[in-house]
Every structure is written in structure tokens, then in C-alpha cells.
Chains A and B, each alone.
Chain A
Amino acid sequence: MLHWIQYIRGYVTIKVWGYSAERLLNLCGNHDILVWGIKDHGDYHTMNISVQGFFALKPLLKKTGTRAAVLQRYGLPFFVSKMYRRKIFVIGLVGCMLFWILTSGYIWNIKIDGNFALTEDVLLDYLEEQGVHTAMKKSRLRIEDLERALREDYDIITWTSVQLDGTTLLVHIKENEMPEYDQSSQSKNDKGMDLIADRSGTVSYIITRSGVPQVALGDTVEKGDVLVSGAVPVYNEDTTVRKYQFVQSDADIILRYGEDISVEKSVAYEEKRYTGEEKKIYVLGAGDKEWSLRLRKIPYAAYDSSEEKKQVKLLDHLYLPFSYGHRIVKEYEITEQKHTEEEMKTLMQEEWDKIITTLDEKGVQIAEKNVTIKKNDKKWVLNAHMQLEEAAVKLVPTSTEPVVEEETQEETPTE
């Protein structure tokens, strides 16, 4: 405590020499001037004395025939005057502190995790729509509202947690792992659902579980044709339709159709060969802008560049709108090369495998195939004529209108 008071009021270490330092001490005592840390160095004494005490010391020094010199100054008054001389330093210090305080009030980084089906871009766009973006004020953020909005606007999100960590906004979400069937539209829709052909072809397999089949095995259908109707007619005795019972059609239908696939591969190809020449360019970024620390042009005709950038952050989560990093530019040359016969074979095989895999992924089966490969010096062409089988059907609301008028006319006499 005493130390603090001494520091705030300021004190000096002085060197006293001359006829009698002891007398000076006695006089200091009598004049209520506090001195402390008195040390004898043989020829002279050193002691600490308050600033006011030092000024009051002058007549005493004269009286005792001693002399005093200031060795060291301590305390706030001296510090302030020293800082006054270093204005730029102080301005810089204060400016720096203000900068930290100001920037820490904004969000500089948004991190999203737990998203699988929803991409980060989608969520970031959504956040932007909600007025949440980088460089926004933390105080403008309504965390609870944002959490609720996320849950309400995306059915797939079952749980949200938004959290501020330093200048980073962490958005944790949990997605519903089972895709939610839109049952409401099906159950509410009492109009029934038709199965229609999603593409043209020949019906090669049909088993109907509910609904009225409109096509038979071997029939040729066009895209959009109704295969199974969701309107089951109820007939009157005179075989006119009394009314329709609407159901959701359900059937296994396989359509067969022909498809020609052609793949071309040229024998010649361009090969990228790195020359081994590369340059490292340092880059600095602020916000969306970027500057490279290289004034001359890159001396390569063709080059690849890869960039590595880091955002400036303080501690763990205090991100700032500045980035730094480097770009590596690698020179390459393009050379004309030719595939060998073996290479062409494997390439063609790979292309074919790719086609098969894509068909397989779509649930399409190959019933028949006729593959030919034409070769010449310049290119190889693979032609495949295939008969494909696919359950290409789509569920749509039925186009059959209910028989309203007849229904009422018929029903009145029975009551």
C-alpha cells in the first residue's frame, strides 16, 4: 500500500555528499520530510525522498553544507512526463487497445458443423439472409431467434446450438438422419395417386398391388402415360361408373428401352510436365482484397498456382479480417503424347466401367448389349447399343375427376 502511494506521488533517489549527511537527516526529520532506504557508500550517502520533499530540501542543503544530486526518478509523475515526450508511442498504444476493443465486438468468422445434407454454402447464405454475416456487430446477434429460425425453416434440422466464442460464431446443428416423408400431402390428398411412365419404353414386367393397371405386358408407352390409375371405378348395374374410389397406386413396373451410347477417346493427348521451376509469392489480404508482394510479372508461359492462406487470429478464437500466406507458382510445359494400344484398352475399359456403374447407381439393368470398338490412328470409338430395364415410374396426383353429380343423384333414392 505504501509502495503504491509512493509510486503515485513519485519519488527520487538522491546522492548526498559533503560535510555532514547526518545533520541533514536530522533536519529532514525536524521538517517532516520522509526519507527512506538510506545507504552509506563511504564518500556519499544515497536515499529516497518524495518529490515534494526534494524541493523542500534545498534550504537544508545550504544550511548543512551538503550537496545532493538526483540519481533516479520513480513514480507516476515521471512516467507521465516521459510518455508525454513519446506521444507517437502512447497514441499507438492507445490506438492498438482501442482497435482490439472495437474489433472484438464484431464477428469475424462463422463455423458450421454437424451439417451433412445441407452444405455450408447453403447455410451461410441462409445466415446472410437472416442478417448474420462476418463483420457484423456481436450485439446485433439474437442467438435464440437464430436458433429458432434455423429449426423452423429447415425441417431436416432437429437441433441447433449457436454459440459465440471470441469473435467466432459457432453454429452446431443436428440433421434428421431419416429423410422425412411428406406424409401430410399423401394422407390429405384423397384424390388418389397415379403411376405414370417417367420415360418411353416397353412394359416388360408389371405387378399391381393397388390401383387399376392401364397397360399390359408388352405394351409400348410414351413418357407421361398413365400406367396405373389411382381412381378405382365403382360401376352401376348398367356398367356406367357410379363413382371412383381413390387410392394410391402401387405397382412394380419395369420399362425396357433401347439406348445408344458412344464414347470417343483420341489417341493423342496433351501431357502437362512440370519443369521444376517454381516461385513463392507472399500474399497479404484484408477483407475481400488481396495483394501479392511481387511487383514483377510471373515469367512463365503456363503455370499452376496453389495458394495457402491463414486468417490472422488472436488466441484461439479471436479472428481478425486479415490474412497472410503464400502462393506457389509452378511452371509446366505441354507436350503432345500418344497412348499406346495397351493404354487405350485400359482407358476404354475404364470408360465402359464408368457407364455401367452410372447405370447401376440409377437402378438400371442391362438386358442386352452390343458393344463395338472402332479403332483408327487418331481415335478409338466405343459404340454400345443396349436394351435397358428400369423401374421408370413416377407417382402423381390422379387426373381422373370424381363423379360428383351422378353420385348425389344416385344416392338420394336409396335414402
Chain B
Amino acid sequence: MLGAAIVTTTGNREAFIENYKGILEYTTESIVLQGKNCKICFEGKKLSIDYYTNEDMKISGMIDAVRYF
């Protein structure tokens, strides 16, 4: 699917996201990203963004759930 966000998770500690439009919310408990067609929400504890660029980003911390809405 063209333009859809790609989410790669490594265990529940790391997530690697590409093809997103932007970041909507960032707290230590949740990170909400804007994809092309939907929003992606990472919920967990002690979440932090290792790096953030236009193309990709990396989230680390204890990820409990990934929700699409």
C-alpha cells in the first residue's frame, strides 16, 4: 500500500517507524503519530524518542500496546 506507515518493533522495547506524517502527542506514557490514513498510538511506560527525522524515527521504552485508530 502506497504511503502506509511501516512499524517495526523489536520485542516490546523498541519500535522503528517510517512513512509517517508527523507527531501529534508525546508523553512518557503514550506517543501518537499521524499516518497517511490513520493515527498510530504507542502506549507504555518510560517512552522516549531516540531520534526523529522527516523519514523515520525510533521509539524506545516499555511498549504495552500499539493501537491504530
Binding site for B on A (CB under 8 A): 21-22, 25-26, 28-30, 32, 34-40, 42, 45, 47
Contact = CB atoms under 8 A, between A and B. Distances in A.
A25 B52 contact: yes
Interface of B: 22-28, 47-54
Contacts of A38: 26, 48-52
B45 to A, nearest CB: 12
Nearest to B59: A38
Contacts of A39: 48-49
A37 B22 CA distance: 17
- Tell me the interface secondary structure of chain A in the complex: mixed
A25 B26 contact: yes
A36 B25 CA distance: 16
Contact of A36 (B22, B27, B47, B52): B52
Contacts, number: 51
Contacts of A42: 27-28
Nearest to A39: B48
Given A38-B48, A39-B48, A40-B48, A22 B53 contact: no
Contacts of B50: 36-38
A25 B51 CA distance: 10
A26 B22 contact: yes
Contacts of B24: 22
A29 B22 CA distance: 8
A39 B50 CA distance: 8
B51 A21 contact: no
A25 B27 CA distance: 13
Contacts of B22: 22, 25-26, 29
13 contacts: A25-B49, A26-B22, A26-B23, A29-B53, A34-B53, A36-B49, A36-B50, A37-B51, A38-B26, A38-B51, A40-B28, A40-B48, A45-B26
A30 B53 CA distance: 8
A335 to B, nearest CB: 87
Nearest to A45: B26
Contacts of B28: 40, 42
B53 A40 contact: no
Contacts of A45: 26
Contacts of A25: 22-23, 26, 49, 52
